[in-house]
Structure 1
Amino acid sequence: MTKKQRALEIKKRFLKHYQNPKTELKYRNIYELLVSVILSAQCTDKRVNLVTPALFAKYPSPSMLAKANVEEVKEIIKSVSYFNNKAQNLVKMANQIIENFEGKVPTTQEELKSLAGVGQKTANVVLIEYFEANYMAVDTHVFRTSHRLGLSKAKTAIQTEEDLTKLFKTDLSILHQAFVLFGRYTCKAQKPECENCFVKDFCTSKSNFKPA
């Protein structure tokens, strides 16, 4: 079986196994989604969901967050990893939205990447989740599982994203969410549940692959 044939079979199984996968972050609009995704870097969705209700109650819009005292934002999100940097980025990001985008969260990859705290992965996740855009975003779960399945040997997340995009081409938004859930609950970093895996026949290694 060629690599392309392997990829097509893996894709087929993922689409069958995960019918309508969605992020586990809780949000009500694109502003809340963007903030939640920024907070989720190097942090669990469960932890983010614990702090965002209070954050959104106090700062329900970019205009409100833009006027926020950074120290007060830090206090609300202090249980989240790297809360100091994230608090500063959130306030700066909100000000950029006010100044550069008339108070509305931008909806293209390049515009999103111009915001503080937003890299390509964060931008893609927002577009995937909110618009079901045909993008692949590579977090630690996607990186680990795609390497275990032999879909990429790239050293970085961006290069892995490129490999997966070329292999799968379509249904990328569904596949991204599916790979995240697969890595979170089945193909875990430690003690993967191989007996419950629907693609175990394609597994090439149980190593805990991490981006360089």
Structure 2
Amino acid sequence: MTPVIEQIQFGFDFGEQPPLAVVRQRLLAAYGPQRDSRRHTPPEQFVKALISAETFDSESEKAFRALREHFRPLDRLGQSTAQEVLPHLATVTHPERKAEQLVRSVARIIAERGRFELSFLAAWPVDAAMAKLKQYDGIGPKCAAAILSFSALRRRIFVVDRHIKRFGIRFGLLSEDAGFEKAHQQMMRLIPPAWDADDLYELHWLMKRFGQEVCTNQRPPCERCGLADLCAFGQARQPAKGNDTKPRRRG
């Protein structure tokens, strides 16, 4: 049975260019290229992605460095216990749960492959690689995509995090009920076919930075946003012409 492709109705006219091409051009003008020649190995990115959920990048980076320093090689994670891993996850959210997930998942990969390695995913179709990664405890669609995209595997897949999901919903690129799985599917359908893995990597970091600095969760400065003309959310928050736009004092 052919799956139904949900159609997203864009609130604004992006012209003849694909919507994401317009967004990317604007963000490149603001932030410049976001390319990276150095990448983590797939096992390193697996660990980093798993522990980073719902955690600030700076804090998950501290935990990742602590794990990489203590567990050399990273295969040792699968031969350890959650109690041994836990002290190194002090800076991340839900450390107890993540310690258990990390030990179980690395141990399972070692049982399957003989060691903690994921290089075999380079030859798999992206969808199959995503499905395989999501079988491991603690790895959802966002983490699986990050492992494939951000690591040395450099697979052509787009990573949707909470900042990009918020951006996509506000700009009408994603349906308002989109969870991470659905958001990933919808965004991938909007990616121009000619874009390669590095283009998708760059778009992620451009949109994420914009989501962190401008299109924030609370009180986004829509009046100063360079993309407000493309955003129904931003347009709705603009004061009507002729109205008093001076800030009001709170009573």
Structure 2 length as normaliser, TM-score? 0.72
Could you say what the CA RMSD is over the residues aligned between the two structures, in angstroms?
A: 2.5
For 1:149, the equivalent position in structure 2 comes to 171
Distance 1:195 1:113 in 2: 40
Matches within 5 A, 1:173-188: 173-188=201-216
Distance 1:4 1:88 in 2: 49
Offset, 1:6: 6.3
Aligned 8 A contact 2:145 2:158 in 1? yes
Offset, 1:91: 0.5
Deviation larger for 10-19 or 35-44: 10-19
Per-residue Cα deviation, 1:90-147 (whole angstroms, up to 9, x for no partner): 1011101211123143233232222221112101011111233221222210110111
**Given the alignment of the two structures, is residue 12 of structure 1 paired with residue 25 of structure 2, yes or no?**
yes
Matches within 5 A, 1:152-171: 152-155=174-177, 156-169=179-192, 170=195, 171=199
DSSP-derived class of the 1:31 partner: helix
**Given the alignment of the two structures, is residue 136 of structure 1 paired with residue 177 of structure 2, yes or no?**
no
**Given the alignment of the two structures, is residue 81 of structure 1 paired with residue 93 of structure 2, yes or no?**
yes
Offset, 1:5: 4.5
Distance 1:6 1:202 in 2: 13
TM-aligned CA distance change 1:195 to 1:132, over 3 Å: farther
Aligned 8 A contact 1:89 1:117 in 2? yes
Q: Which of residues 35, 49, 58 in structure 1 aligns to 2:47?
A: 35
**Given the alignment of the two structures, is residue 113 of structure 1 paired with residue 129 of structure 2, yes or no?**
no
Distance 1:27 1:88 in 2: 26
Q: Which runs of 5+ in 1 are unaligned?
A: 208-212
TM-aligned CA distance change 1:66 to 1:3, over 3 Å: farther
Structure 1 length as normaliser, TM-score? 0.84
Aligned 8 A contact 2:172 2:231 in 1? yes
Distance 2:139 2:117 in 1: 12
The count of corresponding residues between Structure 1 and Structure 2 is 204
DSSP-derived class of the 2:220 partner: coil
Aligned 8 A contact 2:40 2:150 in 1? no
Distance 1:126 1:3 in 2: 34
One-letter amino acid matched to 1:20: Q
Percent of residue pairs identical: 24
Per-residue Cα deviation, 1:35-62 (whole angstroms, up to 9, x for no partner): 1111110111111112222211111234
For 2:240, the equivalent position in structure 1 comes to none
Distance 1:81 1:3 in 2: 42
